[in-house]
Structure 1
Amino acid sequence: MKAWSDAASLILAARHGQTYSCAVSPAIHNYKLLCLKRHQKSSFMPGLYVFPGGTVDPADVNLKWYEYFNAFGLDNDRLASLVPKAVSRPQIFQSKENELLREISLRITAIRETFEECGILLCRRNKNGNAHSSWVEHVSIPKGEMQTWQNKVHNDATEFLNLCQKLECYPDLWALHEWRNWLAPTYETKRFNTAFYLACIPHMPYAEYEAIEMDDLQWFSPEEFSLTGFEFPPPQQIEIARLTKIKSIDNLLNIAMERNKKGIQKLYLPIVVQLKDGIGMVMPEDTMYPKEIKLYEQQIIDKSDITVDEFEKITTLTKNRIVFLDTQVNIIFTDNGKDNRIVFPRPGYHSKSGNVKSKNKLQDE
């Protein structure tokens, strides 16, 4: 049995509010992120807020997609342009015989799952293969038909290609930018090796969560998400915390495009740190991160001689770590030589905010 399932997830950022020049450093975020709350009865991460995404389905790797893209003027060379010229690539990007390139199929998974979970169809209709924007596009579906198609795709992933054919559109692969590759720690009962993509959209599209898997859908800025008291898995907390420092969606898109050119070259596997009075985790780039990691066996760094406070404040280190406390989760990372500390309150310890409420339908503001 395989130790984990391959998956893809999408960090979707939508422009919101004022448009800033890239030369201007805005004081507040001019974009919001999409997060969904997993159903309380889910067998994996019940009740936690996540980015849309899910496991790779055989329908996502089917070679029929080549023929479909070719019909839009997107030949195999254009599709191969999605493969970065990186020397080192994580295992998840290793393509298999008689399957699509992984750089294609993982993006299809992210786009299919995003539609299935919240009804946003990130597709294009133009037939000029060289005219792609770095901003992601979406195709609107009549609200009366959206849930019907979401249910169809949920029950059978091959229906996603049927949906694209019906609407004469194709997945907007080139606007999904490689962001990070997260592997769940060994202590998880279900493990996923997930390619995270980032896409920026010019406005917030209509969204409707699929009630079989999800309980809620929210658009908030990274800073707002860090204050809500929602419960997130560590990868989402790390990504949201780092995005609190990027206020402009234009800057975010530029960063994503530059990262995409290089491609994901490193696996992100959190390693547990045992402390005198608590638990922490370290990620790659942290000075304490092991030189050799164990993908299949439990690996714990024993620092039981120091306290949580000492672990947070220890100097002369590059930090990329999490500390779990009773009332909060602290994300600590070094950026441009400066240590940053982003605090996520634990559920039940956040201040009640009148603008944080459950919605299953969200529309452009």
Structure 2
Amino acid sequence: MVLLPEDRSLPTGFVPETPPQQPAEAKDAATVVLLRNGTTGLEVFLQRRVKGMPFAGGMTVFPGGGVDQRDADTSVAWSGPDAQWWAARFDCSPELARALVCAAVRETFEESGVLLAGPDTATVVGETSRYAEARAAMVARNLSLAEFLADERLVLRADLLRPWANWLTPEREPRRYDTRFFLAAMPEGQRADAVTTEAAEAYWATPEQALADFAEGRCHLLPPTRITLDELVECGSMAAALAAERTLGKISPKLVRRNGRWHVVMPGEPGFEEAN
């Protein structure tokens, strides 16, 4: 059972029937929407998560994950907008902003092999298979992003990321994330892969095709993913998406029970104030 485009219903069993006594604390997280120019236009990199994952199992998503404590390491060599700039965009502290950018770079590398870093402030690494051992060590939490970049004498390229959105999981859900969405163009010479235990498959698709797959039941999308794809369709091109000026408010949907299923209600929509 999948999300229905017309009513944003959630899959059966996705939300527990008994609400938590207290809302779970939302964990800070980062998601990166990788873009490239394909043969038919703008394409995005998507991953179908393994069924049974604690969060969003079976869903088709963009690469991303929770902020690690070590993502706040200030020793990371950095190029591009500083932490203060990112803090202003995401309305958070500079310390958290720095950790979010580092988490975005780390998670993208761990989950797709795409590395937004280079030997200096003007270049990006090419083919990344030579870092496979370090990538595995980072996934196992035996190596931090800061240690990896220092070992390889690489600079994090924060200028390759663009702030896009901030989504907060509804209070009724047992696992909650305060997720900042970023855009990034696929670096030339690199390839995105499916070498991760968290994804059953990974592929490139136009936003239009991904939305058609969703509408016809071929993939499962949560509202943040679907709405981001809709927004990219409106942009029309990678250049326009990367150049878009975004006003980033925290989007905090709620859940309402209708006809035996849970539905996502967005701020400002009918029933939002009465929803859980």
Q: Normalising by the residue count of structure 1, what TM-score does the alignment of the two structures yield?
A: 0.61
CA distance in 2, matches of 1:193, 1:231: 21
User: Which position in structure 1 is the counterpart of 2:11?
Assistant: none
CA deviations over 1:35-94 (Å, ceiling 9, x no partner): 1121223222111111111111111002322xx34xxxx69xx624524656xx64xx23
CA distance in 2, matches of 1:190, 1:250: 35
Match 1:125 to one of 96, 103, 119: 119
Q: State the secondary structure of the residue aligned to 2:163.
A: strand
CA deviations over 1:273-322 (Å, ceiling 9, x no partner): 444686543323x45375x7xxxxxx617xxxxxxxxxxxxxxxxxxxxx
User: Which position in structure 2 is the counterpart of 1:296?
Assistant: none
Change in Cα spacing, 1:276 to 1:231, as seen in structure 2 (3 Å) is closer
Match 2:137 to one of 140, 152, 155: 152
User: Which position in structure 2 is the counterpart of 1:164?
Assistant: 149
User: Which position in structure 1 is the counterpart of 2:254?
Assistant: 271
Q: State the secondary structure of the residue aligned to 1:171.
A: strand
User: Which position in structure 2 is the counterpart of 1:241?
Assistant: 230
- For the pair 1:82 / 2:91, whether they are aligned, the reply is no
User: Which position in structure 2 is the counterpart of 1:253?
Assistant: 242
Q: State the secondary structure of the residue aligned to 2:197.
A: coil
Q: Normalising by the residue count of structure 2, what TM-score does the alignment of the two structures yield?
A: 0.79
Q: State the secondary structure of the residue aligned to 1:82.
A: helix
Structure 1 gaps, min length 5: 18-28, 96-100, 293-298, 302-365
Alignment of 1:48-67 (within 5 A): 48-65=59-76
- For the pair 1:209 / 2:194, whether they are aligned, the reply is yes
Percent of aligned pairs with the same residue?
24
CA distance in 2, matches of 1:202, 1:10: 13
Is the contact between residue 27 and residue 176 of structure 2 (CA under 8 Å) also seen in structure 1? yes
* Higher alpha-carbon Rg: 1
CA distance in 2, matches of 1:84, 1:3: 21
User: Which position in structure 2 is the counterpart of 1:3?
Assistant: 25
User: Which position in structure 1 is the counterpart of 2:204?
Assistant: 219
Kindly state the Cα deviation for residue 107 of structure 1 after the two structures are TM-superposed: 0.9
Kindly state the Cα deviation for residue 233 of structure 1 after the two structures are TM-superposed: 1.7
User: Which position in structure 2 is the counterpart of 1:115?
Assistant: 109
Is the contact between residue 110 and residue 196 of structure 2 (CA under 8 Å) also seen in structure 1? no
- For the pair 1:288 / 2:263, whether they are aligned, the reply is no
- For the pair 1:31 / 2:42, whether they are aligned, the reply is yes
Change in Cα spacing, 1:158 to 1:202, as seen in structure 2 (3 Å) is closer
Q: State the secondary structure of the residue aligned to 2:82.
A: helix
Change in Cα spacing, 1:146 to 1:41, as seen in structure 2 (3 Å) is farther
CA distance in 2, matches of 1:46, 1:85: 33
Structure 2 gaps, min length 5: 1-21
**RMSD in angstroms over aligned alpha carbons?**
2.8
CA distance in 1, matches of 2:231, 2:271: 19
CA distance in 2, matches of 1:288, 1:157: 48
Match 1:190 to one of 161, 175, 186: 175
Is the contact between residue 31 and residue 221 of structure 1 (CA under 8 Å) also seen in structure 2? yes
CA deviations over 1:332-355 (Å, ceiling 9, x no partner): xxxxxxxxxxxxxxxxxxxxxxxx
Is the contact between residue 112 and residue 192 of structure 2 (CA under 8 Å) also seen in structure 1? yes
CA distance in 1, matches of 2:65, 2:187: 24
Is the contact between residue 127 and residue 191 of structure 2 (CA under 8 Å) also seen in structure 1? no
User: Which position in structure 2 is the counterpart of 1:231?
Assistant: 220
Highest RCO, 1 vs 2 (Cα 8 Å, sep ≥ 6): 2
Q: What letter is aligned with 1:104?
A: R
Kindly state the Cα deviation for residue 182 of structure 1 after the two structures are TM-superposed: 0.5
Change in Cα spacing, 1:170 to 1:202, as seen in structure 2 (3 Å) is closer
